[in-house]
A and B are shown apart, each in its own frame.
Chain A
Amino acid sequence: MLEDKRRSGGSFHETAGPPAVERRGSPQLGGGEDNVFYWVAEGLLEKTVDSIMAAAAEQRRPLSPWERGIRSVSPPGIDFDIAMQPSDIEVTPPPKLRSLEPYHQNAAHPLCNTEPLLENTNSPRLKSLIISSSEGPEKEQETASNDLEVADDEETLQFQNKAKNKVSKQGKKRSQRLSPNILRGTSIKKRKLSQIQHSPGNGRKRLTGESSKAHELIANAAYIGTPGKGILAADESTGTIGKRLASINVENVETNRRALRELLFTAPGALPCLSGVILFEETLYQKSSDGKLFVDILKEGGVLPGIKVDKGTVELAGTNGETTTQGLDGLGERCKKYYEAGARFAKWRAVLKIGENEPSEHSIHENAYGLARYAVICQENGLVPIVEPEILVDGSHDIHKCAAVTERVLAACYKALSDHHVLLEGTLLKPNMVTPGSDSAKVAPEVIAEHTVRALQRTVPAAVPAIVFLSGGQSEEEATKNLNAMNQLKTKKPWSLSFSFGRALQQSTLKTWAGKEENVKAAQEALYVRCKANSEATLGTYKGDAKLGDGAAESLHVKDYKY
């Protein structure tokens, strides 16, 4: 009966059916083409990116004619034919909040009582950076939603327009030159679907009576995750920046610290590669030599100012040198002040290490719950919290050990964030990449990419809009290449993968500057080179052709790094 139907070609069965099953006896492992899962399982790597891509294509079970008939038009749900990662498509401007129109009348809907954005305060505020692209085949999207948040004050309107114009200008150029070719030539429908798929989640009312704040948090978090952009971590404390300045024989005085940051923020071409800059408290209130506040310079350049809010680490008694991070006292008040000064996101660095008995359950728990508490306090005060559980690279362990520890730590973090009622759509993650220990042999960027993305797939919920990697002790070039490899990987990535680099963006710049006025231009050029390289890496289009500045390939690893 059914067997005959099968042979007549009308049934689903003619192409690959379910995995072959032995009815009796031993399990049957797949053959050669099943290696795609084999490498996932065993951590082995097919040798080149091409192989990875070919293997990934094998992963998708070929559709039976029956299914193909049903699916002739891509369904709005999951479609394995579409790479789900933002960088696989042409550069899109920051995703819009999806339309909530049909549900505004429904009392049960989380946002049915949406208040106007933000209460009034005295200081100028940055309204939500929800910017929609005016280009591209988005007619359906536009008619379907009228939720473009148009600011009602001129300053912000200008900001939005500037950013919008910047994006559309570059979007055009980029889409011709730089975008990966995965979806080039594919139907408009598919590209649009990808755009839709990347819109941030709904701002469900998580914190009582604060849906407008949720809106802003979600929009800002999504903006920071814009493909093609990332974060410059320029939040070195006074002590730490002192070490940097010392390395180039520059005195650690306020004017020099200010001069360095001015160099960075006014570097031509750099800001368009960035969506955010993390500042130290002192810098939040500093000005350029023309008397313009740094935060204003950043805002005008389409870059969100962020602020480091932790107060360093302290040791956990009874452990083998493990630490926890302090800074919770009065954090709410501080966040309020930072928000008023223009900051829109915050950073808190938790540190864990790998050793015989490390990280201990105690250390994982302390750091995870510290991060969660910090995160919810930030959100209560309008700042998007970057959650940074850094696992130090120090040690002689292999990449599998790092992967296991990373997965364990991230799982604990997300359990803690859930317990503390943190709105994941309004957060970012700043993890370490998964690499071998500093005392172990190096591996190829593709290997790092594979282990890193897999660890994230197993632990980071899709609600998180973006993951902005720390560079740890990696050289500028290494960090860029690893990020690039991740964005080329053909696998499920529902969050964008970008950068939040400090040393890996500033190293060559610092060396080139050496504290001398006459070197500023060259130093700014060096910064631009790294920014551009990393911007391309977020799209998977970096070709390794960045003009390597002095020290770009230099390892920045400092054992047991503290800052």
Chain B
Amino acid sequence: MSAFVGKYADELIKTAKYIATPGKGILAADESTGTIGKRFSSINVENIESNRQALRELLFTSPGALPCLSGVILFEETLYQKTSDGKPFVEFLQENGVIPGIKVDKGVVDLAGTNGETTTQGLDSLGARCQEYYKAGARFAKWRAVLKIGATEPSELSIQENAKGLARYAIICQENGLVPIVEPEVLTDGSHDIKKCAAVTETVLSAVYKALNDHHVLLEGTLLKPNMVTPGSDSAKVAPEVIAEYTVIALRRTVPPAVPGIVFLSGGQSEEEATQNLNAMNKLELLKPWTLTFSFGRALQQSTLKAWGGKKENVAKAQATFLVRCKANSDATLGKYVAGASGDSAASESLFVKGYSY
């Protein structure tokens, strides 16, 4: 076989399939210490370990939320943290049918000679790190590659570098028992139209799957975390159905059926936008041999964060808010979301930050 089938193959396939269960999705709670600091400052909360622990506890213990999730991506610090009752977060998630995942990349660095394009680092000793994470209870991993659209971007170099980096990361994960989430994010920044985004997304995904094949990655034990196909941030918005169509067509043209699930990133979309787009995709009458679900960070946590404001007395309210977003996205994976069901104004707030890096 072209794919590497090691001792973890069975488990990888089952885990990937479980994460892709319709009705469930991933909470991306893997903000690095620096990034979570930015979030905290927006609600005037001090960026210290106990607050970071408190936020994650708030999210994970929200009543009714975990059934909407199949996985949570964690930052390394969180992997070893506990609830206030002293139970490791990892155990708590596992007991509730949610698979812990771990962010393993080490951020982006510029590619010399390009116009601000980047590659992602983190391959050094990745195997050993994965083994540690596996022991700590993680069963999937995430690595974010970033590409941008411009007059001459993404360049062939950037596409190749990022695709190969993703492939190398993916096979190392599989060698060590972690399902790799392959994330080639094409940023929304720019004034391009949706067709341009579609063309770039298709080119990038095609390169990614060629690289995965070259590196003997077992596709049945991976997940894809792509951007949705949308107009650039400086262009006019379009309806969710249009986004759905372009996105699904792009995926049908590039993602082999062996991949069990596609877990979208939300980019700079508001909570409500992201949910509606996902919903539209699941309603689309086109044959889709993978499930379409979510792996949202900001688009799940934004209103929750605001409702919390760092205050203990707001926890219940924040948790209720979180449940609303979880449920909305869970419905969206089934094409059953009814827009406007959640009346929070924060849900419609755009989360777009130019040149977002984390």
Q: Which residues of A contact B (CB under 8 A)?
A: 1-3, 6, 11-13, 17-19, 21, 23-25, 27-30, 34, 37-38, 40-43, 59, 61, 66-67, 70-71, 75-80, 84, 98, 102-103, 106, 108-110, 196-199, 201-202, 204-205, 400, 403-405, 407-408, 411-412, 414-415, 418-419, 424-425, 454-463, 492-494
Contact = CB atoms under 8 A, between A and B. Distances in A.
B283 interface: yes
A84 B22 contact: no
A76 B337 CA distance: 12
A419 B245 CA distance: 22
Interface in B262-286: 281-286
A462 B334 contact: no
B13 A2 contact: no
A108 B238 contact: yes
A19 B18 contact: yes
Contacts of B252: 201, 424, 461-463, 494
B38 interface: no
Contacts of A30: 10-11, 14
Given A19-B18, A71-B334, A76 B284 contact: yes
24 contacts: A2-B66, A13-B96, A19-B15, A27-B8, A30-B14, A41-B13, A70-B331, A70-B334, A77-B284, A77-B292, A98-B285, A109-B242, A109-B245, A197-B285, A202-B249, A400-B1, A411-B209, A418-B206, A418-B253, A418-B254, A461-B255, A462-B287, A492-B257, A494-B289
Contacts of B94: 18, 21, 23
- Determine which residue in A405, A424, A493 has the highest number of CB atoms from chain B within 10 A of its CB, and name it: A424
Interface in B196-238: 198, 202-203, 206-207, 209-210, 213-214, 218-220, 231, 238
B288 A78 contact: yes
Contacts of B218: 41
B256 interface: yes
A76 B282 contact: yes
Contacts of B23: 67, 70-71
Contact of B137 (A23, A66, A98): A23
Given A98-B286, A199-B286, A70 B241 contact: no
A411 B213 contact: yes
A42 B67 CA distance: 33
Nearest to B138: A21
Given A23-B91, A37-B10, A457 B258 contact: yes
A139 B135 CA distance: 55
Contact of B15 (A18, A38, A408): A18
Nearest to B207: A415
Nearest to A460: B256
B70 interface: yes
Contacts of B289: 78, 84, 457, 462, 492, 494
Given A103-B242, A415-B207, A19 B14 contact: yes
Nearest to A462: B252
Given A75-B282, A407-B213, A463-B253, A61 B207 contact: no
Contacts of A1: 61, 63
A46 B59 CA distance: 44
B335 interface: yes
B7 interface: yes
Contacts of A205: 195
A34 B10 contact: yes
- Determine which residue in B15, B94, B285 has the highest number of CB atoms from chain A within 10 A of its CB, and name it: B285
B107 interface: no
- Determine which residue in B137, B213, B214, B246 has the highest number of CB atoms from chain A within 10 A of its CB, and name it: B213
A42 B238 contact: no
B3 interface: yes
Interface of B: 1-3, 5, 7-11, 13-15, 17-18, 21-23, 61, 63, 66-67, 70, 90-91, 94-99, 134-135, 137, 139, 177, 193-195, 198, 202-203, 206-207, 209-210, 213-214, 218-220, 231, 238-239, 241-242, 245-246, 249, 252-258, 281-292, 330-331, 333-336
Contacts of B70: 18
A336 to B, nearest CB: 27
Nearest to B287: A197
Contacts of A13: 96-97
Contacts of B292: 77-78
B352 to A, nearest CB: 19
Q: What 8 pairs across the A-B complex have the smallest Cβ distances? A: A407-B2, A418-B206, A77-B282, A411-B213, A41-B9, A415-B210, A197-B287, A457-B258
Given A38-B10, A196-B285, A418-B254, A11 B220 contact: no
Contacts of A29: 7, 10-11
A106 B1 contact: no
Given A197-B287, A403-B2, A108 B256 contact: no
Contacts of B283: 76-77
Contact of A75 (B1, B14, B91, B336): B336
A389 B70 CA distance: 40
A11 B5 CA distance: 35
Given A17-B97, A29-B11, A75-B336, 15 more contacts: A21-B139, A30-B11, A30-B14, A41-B5, A70-B331, A70-B334, A71-B23, A75-B282, A77-B22, A201-B252, A204-B246, A457-B258, A458-B258, A462-B288, A462-B289
A14 B144 CA distance: 34
B137 A202 contact: no
A68 B347 CA distance: 28
A345 B11 CA distance: 44
A27 B287 contact: no
Nearest to A198: B287
Contacts of B219: 458
A279 to B, nearest CB: 30
A140 to B, nearest CB: 10
A459 B219 CA distance: 10
A34 B13 CA distance: 10
- Determine which residue in A34, A67, A458, A460 has the highest number of CB atoms from chain B within 10 A of its CB, and name it: A458
B206 A12 contact: no
A24 B135 contact: yes
B204 to A, nearest CB: 10
Contacts of A456: 257
A494 B287 contact: yes
Contacts of A71: 22-23, 334
A491 to B, nearest CB: 9
Nearest to A400: B1
Contacts of B9: 37, 41
A404 B295 CA distance: 32
B11 A27 contact: yes
B252 to A, nearest CB: 4
A110 B195 contact: yes
Contacts of A458: 2-3, 213, 219-220, 256, 258
A444 B91 CA distance: 46
Contacts of B231: 108
Nearest to A409: B2
A447 to B, nearest CB: 13
A463 B10 contact: no
A419 B67 CA distance: 42
A108 B255 CA distance: 24
A106 B245 CA distance: 13
Nearest to B236: A108
Contacts of B1: 43, 400, 403-404, 407
B56 to A, nearest CB: 16
B100 to A, nearest CB: 9
Contacts of A197: 285-287
Nearest to B67: A12
A13 B66 CA distance: 11
Contacts of B256: 457-461
A245 to B, nearest CB: 41
A102 B210 contact: no
A135 to B, nearest CB: 20
Contact of B90 (A6, A23, A43, A76): A23
A42 B5 contact: yes
